[in-house]
Amino acid sequence: MPADPAGAAMRLRRAIPLLAGVTAPVGLLLGGSATAGGWVLAAGLGLLAATHFLPVQPSAAVAPDPNSAGISIWIEDWAEVGGALAALRRAGLDVEDQLATEPGLLHRLHHSIRITDVNDATLDLMGVTEKRLLLGRLVDVVPASEQTVRSWILAMARGDRLYRAESRIRRADGSQRDCLVTALLPRDPAGYSTIVVGVVDITDYKADQARLAQVERELTRAAHAATVGVVTASIAHEVKNPLAAVVTNADAALRWLRRTRPELAEAEAAIGAVVENALRARDVVDRTRLLLSHASHEPEALDLAAAVRDAAQLLERELVATGTELVINVNPGTPAVLADPSRLRQILTNLLANAVQAMEGVPCPRQVRVQAARKADLVCITVADSGTGIGPDQLERVFDPFFTSREGGIGVGLAICRACVEAHGGRIWASNAPGGGAVLQFTLPAAGHAAP
């Protein structure tokens, strides 16, 4: 134990800032401030470290346990390294070049570094019970440290104030521990003889980080799979209606052609409808591709009544089969809406299809009412049915992806509607009519002129 009070004070002054550098990363790991947290913790740890290397006066108060913080502290003598660096500077030689061209220099300096003292936390870290086993040449205690020493020497040559790096230490039992090694580098030749090195075992932290990274990778893969599922379901949902219209019109064309006197004009019209709906199906796929590529959509001024009729054509078979009456009521003076044609068609088609499906099992008459009216700079569109309505516990969830109350449903139609409406700067909501039936309303920006 050193007995020189002046030397002890110097160790104390050196230990406190050194441990600030050591514990700053620890403060960050704990979610605190690297600067404030590190220095506050370092002050206490510095005192602990200093008491380990200072003589205890009989009359002094009992010092705290220097090992209670669990920080490994090494005192090392790099005096020969300091002398070699000074000689190279005087000769005007570049340290990095000398280490590269003269391999024996690094070997000699590595073997000159000595460990002069360690605390009990270092014994635990290294897996030994006697301090003497860790004192002596660094190369004997940490054999695979030559490249680490090289980085230390280069930092010293650059004039760095703080050295901080990760390292791996082999314990006495052969196991390895990942560590964060930190030291304040000396400013004067005398400082090289006593360098205080702090070592924090971060093995468990790095293992936790590796596990977290693995979980994040698995979550990313799951998210990608979910995204593929959503896109697939969305395409299937959107393509189904135009494909159904293709089948309906193709059947109609065949019937016209199979008559005793084929109705060529009617068959031609039906085939034309087949082509039109096939193009709409292609448009759905193209729009989905553009959506995934984040391409922009150019809004147009669209006549709402025409847009509703266009969407209704895709559902003509369902409307006829279920005996559903479609009533379109656009208030006079209602302006056109500013929207992407394909997205507006998706919104209206999904809402109309949901309305028709909501009335399954409901006695006739069945009616879907579409209304539109201006509200300030917006146009509010309402789609109401005469079904049984939406359960109170479902009103807030009907727009969630994959939520459905219908057997066999996939629950993406209304989610698509919300995405399309919000992409235009509007909003969509659901409610129940006082007399029964569901009411879905959404807003879109009004164009600058009234619809014809």
Tens digits of residue pLDDT in 297-306 = 678 899 888 8
- Asked if residue 167 and residue 55 are part of one domain, the reply reads yes
Tens digit of each residue's pLDDT (9 = 90 or more) over 207-224? 888 888 787 777 667 656
The DSSP string of 334-363 is PEEEEE-HHHHHHHHHHHHHHHHHHTTTPP
pLDDT at position 20, please? 47
On whether the CB atoms of residues 304 and 336 are closer than 8 A, the answer is yes
Last residue of a domain, one of 201, 230, 259: 201
Residue 337: domain span: 296-450
Does residue 238 surpass a pLDDT of 90?
no
CA–CA separation, 194 and 46 (whole Å) = 15
Among residues 150, 180, 201, the one where a domain terminates is 201
Cβ distance 377 to 338 under 8 Å? no
More confident residue, 441 or 2: 441
Same-domain check for residues 320 and 440: yes
Q: What is the pLDDT of residues 37-88, one digit of tens each?
A: 444 334 444 444 444 444 444 444 454 454 555 789 999 999 999 999 999 9
Model confidence at 279, in pLDDT bands (50, 70, 90)?
A: confident
Mean predicted lDDT score pLDDT of the chain: 77
Among left, alpha and beta (phi > 0; psi -120 to 50; other), residue 127 is left
- CB distance 115 to 126 below 8 Å: no
What percent of the chain clears pLDDT 70, i.e. is strictly above it? 74
For 273, the token pair is 């409808």
Residue 132: exposure state from Cβ atoms within 10 A (0-12, 13-18, ≥19) = exposed
pLDDT band at 160 (very low <50, low <70, confident <90, very high): very high
CA distances from 62 to 5, 20, 73, 132, 302 (A): 18, 24, 21, 26, 86
Question: Is 174 found in the same domain as 37?
Answer: yes
CA distance 347 to 399: 12
Q: Residue 207 has which token pair? A: 């293992």
CATH of the domain at 347: 3.30.565.10
> Do 435 and 320 fall into the same domain?
yes
Of 157, 179, 201, the last residue of a domain is 201
| pLDDT value at residue 133 | 92
pLDDT value, residue 112:
95
Kindly state the average pLDDT of the residues 343-347: 85
Q: How many domains does the chain have?
A: 2
Highest mean pLDDT among 75-84, 168-177, 316-325, 425-434: 75-84
pLDDT at 29 over 50: no
Residue 416 lies in a domain: yes
Whether residue 212 is contained in a domain is answered as no
